[in-house]
Amino acid sequence: MLTEEEKKKILAEIKHYPYPAVACVDALKIVQHHRGWVSDESVKDIANLLMMSNEEVDGVATFYSRIYRKPVGRNVILVCDGVSCLIMGYESIYDYLSKKLGIRFGETTSDGRFTLLPVSCLGDCDHAPAMMINEDHFNNLTVEKINELLGNYK
Amino acid sequence: MEKPLTKNITPGSSPLNLKEYLQAGGYSGTTKALKEMSPAEVTSLVKASNLLGRGGAGFPTGVKWSLVPMDEASLRPKYLICNADEMEPGTFKDRYLLEGNPHQLIAGMIISAYAIQAREAYIFLRWAYKKAETALRKAIGEAYDAGYLGKDILGSGFDLDVYVHSSAGRYICGEETALLNSLEGKRAVPRTKPPFPAVSGLYGRPTVVNNVETLSWISHIIENGAEWFKGLSLTGTGGTKLYGVSGRVKNPGIWELPLGITMRELLEEYAGGMADGYSFRGALPGGASTDFLIQKHLDVKLDFSTVAAAGSRMGTGTMIILDDKTCPVSFIHNIEKFFALESCGWCTPCREGLPWVEKMLASLEEGTGKMEYLEILKFHTKYMGPGNTFCAHAPGAAEPLQSGLNYFYDDFVRHIDEKKCPWR
C-alpha cells in the first residue's frame, strides 16, 4: 500500500501532465525516496494509481539505473568506473572499499549499512577518481580520504 | 581574450543570484529580445551567428529552430527542452555552467522559447547533478519573483513556465528523442526520425531540444550580434568553447577558449602538459564516443569541421588523454563495457553487437584472445556503424574502437602473443 503522503505527491505530479502514465518515473522516484527501493507490491500500487499494467511500470522501473528493484543498504556508495576514473586509478579505490566492507559491486553489507554499486560517469573527470555516497559527491579520492568519509555514514 | 560564458563563474563559490547577475549585465539580451524583436528576428539572428549545437552533434541552432511551424494554425502547445543530461564519459562542461551560472541558462531559455513561441520549458537534468539542481531551482524561483518567468514576462505579453526534471539515470536519455520518451514517463528508447522533434516532439507537439552550453549562448548573441559571435572563434565558425582535459596531465580542468585552438595549445598551455613520468599516446577529443587522435594530430584545430577532417569528432569538446602507462585495450574495453551496459536494447546491432564486442575485448585484455577476434571487432565497427542502427549510440561506440584498432593494433597483438596484459 502506498502511504497517504506518497499518494499525495504522485497525484500532485499527475496534475502537471496530459495523462497519468507520464508521472511513472516521478512516481517510482517518490516511492524510492520514502522506502529506499521499489518492491513488486509498490510496482502494482503505482500501476493501479496511474492506470497502467504492472508490466508497463516494471518495464520503466527496470530501465533506469537509479531505480532500485532490490533492497539497498542505508547508504549507497556509487564508485565511478568511467574511463577517466580508470586512468586515474578507480580500481584501487574499488579494491580498498570492497576489502574493507567485505562486499563486491551489487552487494550490501550484512549490517545493512552500505551497498556498493558502479556508476559512470559522475562528471568529475578533472578530479578523478570520484564517487558518491547517497547524494554527496567526493573526488580526488585516496584510500585515506575514503577511510575518513565512511565514518560519517552510519 | 573574451570569455562570455564563464566570466561570471567563480569556481568554488556560489553562483551569482539574480540581483548580482543583473548588475553584471545579465538578462539584457532577454529584455532586448522580448521588447524589441519579433520571434522571427530572434531566429534569424541566431541563424546568422552560426551557433553550432554544443551537445556533441554540432547542428546549427538557428536552423533547428526554423524547422518549428510558426503559423497561427500550427500545433500547440510547443515546448523547449534544455538537455542537461550530461553523461558522456569524460565530459564535465555542462555541470560547470549549471552550477556556476544558472541565470545565464534561464536568460537564454526565455529567448529561445520566445523564438519558437513555446510556453513551457523543461530542463532535463542528470540525476547525479544535485548541486546543479539546487542552484537551478533557486535561480528559477528568483526569476519568477522578478517577473522573468511566469505570465506576461517584462510586460511583453509572453508567458513561460520552466520545470526541472531530474532523470532516473540512463545514458540514452541524452539522445533527444529518447529524452522525449523519458519526459513522457516511458522507457527512454529513441524514436524514428522523421518526424523530427521540431514538428512532432513532446506529446507529439513541436519541440526544440538544445544543450546547456548552446542555450547559455543565446542571450549573449542577442545582446552583441552575429558578427561579434563569429569573431570570437579563430576559424570563423563562431564562439568560444568550453574545452576540458582529463587523464594524466599536470593540470586537468576546463577552460573557455576561442573555438579552433589546437590540441597542442590546449594540452600544453592549459592542461600543463603530461604529468611527470607519463607520455602522450592519444586522445579522444570530445568524450568517449569520438575517434582517437594521436601525436600527428596535435596541431589540428579543435573546431567541428577540422576535427572531422582529421577523422574524429569535436563531440563535447572534453578530451580524455591516453598515456603510456594505461593499457589501450583496457581503456577501450572500459568504454565498450559502458556502451554495452547503456544500450537501450531497441535495435539488434546495438543490443547484441556491443556485448559481443565487450566480451571479446575482455578476453583480449585477460590474455585469452585470438588474432581472429581483431577481424571480428573490425567487422563489428562497420556493422554497428551509421545506417545500420536505430540511433547514434552504437556508431558512437564504434568510433574509439575502430580508431583504437587502427592506431594501437600492435598493442592488441601483444596481448595475444604474450597471453597477458603487458601493462599489468
Q: Using a CB–CB cutoff of 8 Å, tell me whether A149 touches chain B.
A: no
Of B388, B401, B62, the closest CA to residue B198 belongs to B62
Residues of A in contact with B323 (CB under 8 A): 87
Nearest CB partner across the interface for B90, out of A63, A82, A132: A82
Q: Structural domain of residue A19, as residue ranges? A: 4-63
Residue A141 counted as domain residue = yes
Task: Map grid coordinates 572500459 to a residue.
Answer: B334
Together in a domain, A45 and A102: no
Report the residue of chain B nearest A82, measured CA to CA: B89
Query: Model confidence over B34-84: pLDDT tens digits?
Result: 999 999 999 999 999 999 999 988 999 999 999 999 988 777 899 999 999
Nearest CB partner across the interface for A24, out of B130, B170, B185: B185
Give the mean pLDDT of B295-310.
96
User: Mutate which of B334, B339, B344 to test chain A, going by most A C-beta atoms within 10 A?
Assistant: B334
Grid cell digits, residue B325 = 602507462
Q: Using a CB–CB cutoff of 8 Å, tell me whether A71 touches chain B.
A: no
Helix or strand run (H / E) with residue B336: helix B328-342
pLDDT at B74: 73
Together in a domain, A79 and A50: no
Residues of A in contact with B320 (CB under 8 A): 83-84, 87, 125
Average pLDDT score over chain B: 96
Together in a domain, A114 and A59: no
Rounded distance between C-alpha atoms, residue B188 and residue A60, angstroms? 8
pLDDT at B297: 97
Phi, psi of B208, deg, nearest 5: -115, 130
Of B214, B267, B210, B264, the closest CA to residue B244 belongs to B267
Contact: B247, A122; criterion CB under 8 Å: no
Contact: B129, A135; criterion CB under 8 Å: no
pLDDT at B124: 98
Report the residue of chain B nearest A21, measured CA to CA: B185
Nearest CB partner across the interface for B248, out of A21, A87, A121: A87
Rounded distance between C-alpha atoms, residue B122 and residue B141, angstroms? 14
**CATH code of the domain covering residue A37:** 1.10.10
Sheet hosting strand A136-138, strand order edge to edge: A114-119, A75-80, A131-133, A136-138
DSSP-derived 3-state class of residue B116: helix
CB atoms within 10 A of CB B23: 9
DSSP A22: G
Query: Model confidence over B171-202: pLDDT tens digits?
Result: 999 999 999 999 999 999 999 999 999 999 99
pLDDT at B1: 84
Query: Model confidence over B316-348: pLDDT tens digits?
Result: 999 999 999 999 999 999 999 999 999 999 999
Together in a domain, A80 and A139: yes
Rounded distance between C-alpha atoms, residue B312 and residue B290, angstroms? 6
Contact: B330, A127; criterion CB under 8 Å: no
Name the amino acid, one letter, at B147. Answer: G
ipTM for the whole complex: 0.96
Residue A17 counted as domain residue = yes
CA atoms within 13 A on the CB side of B308: 7
Together in a domain, A58 and A80: no
Given a contact cutoff of 8 angstroms between Cβ atoms, the answer to whether B291 and B307 are in contact is no
CB atoms within 10 A of CB A35: 15
pLDDT at B73: 75
CA distance, residue B91 to nearest chain A CA (Å): 6
Distances (CA, A) of B127 to A132, B246, B399, B408: 12, 22, 27, 35
- E-only strand ranges, B16-168: 79-84, 120-125, 161-166
User: Mutate which of A49, A83, A86 to test chain B, going by most B C-beta atoms within 10 A?
Assistant: A83
Given a contact cutoff of 8 angstroms between Cβ atoms, the answer to whether A42 and A2 are in contact is yes
Query: Model confidence over A93-152: pLDDT tens digits?
Result: 999 999 999 999 999 999 999 999 999 889 999 999 999 999 999 999 999 999 999 999
> Quick check: bond before B194 cis, omega within 30?
yes
Provide, for chain B, the percentages of residues in helix, strand and coil under a 3-state DSSP scheme, each rounded to the nearest 5.
45, 15, 40
Query: Model confidence over B137-165: pLDDT tens digits?
Result: 999 999 999 999 999 999 999 999 999 99
Grid cell digits, residue B86 = 550530461
Rounded distance between C-alpha atoms, residue B340 and residue B91, angstroms? 19
Rounded distance between C-alpha atoms, residue B288 and residue B332, angstroms? 9
Give the mean pLDDT of B362-381.
97
Domain tally, chain A: 2
DSSP-derived 3-state class of residue B164: strand
Domains, in order of start, for chain B: 18-229 (3.40.50.11540), 240-323 (3.10.20.600), 328-417 (1.20.1440.230)
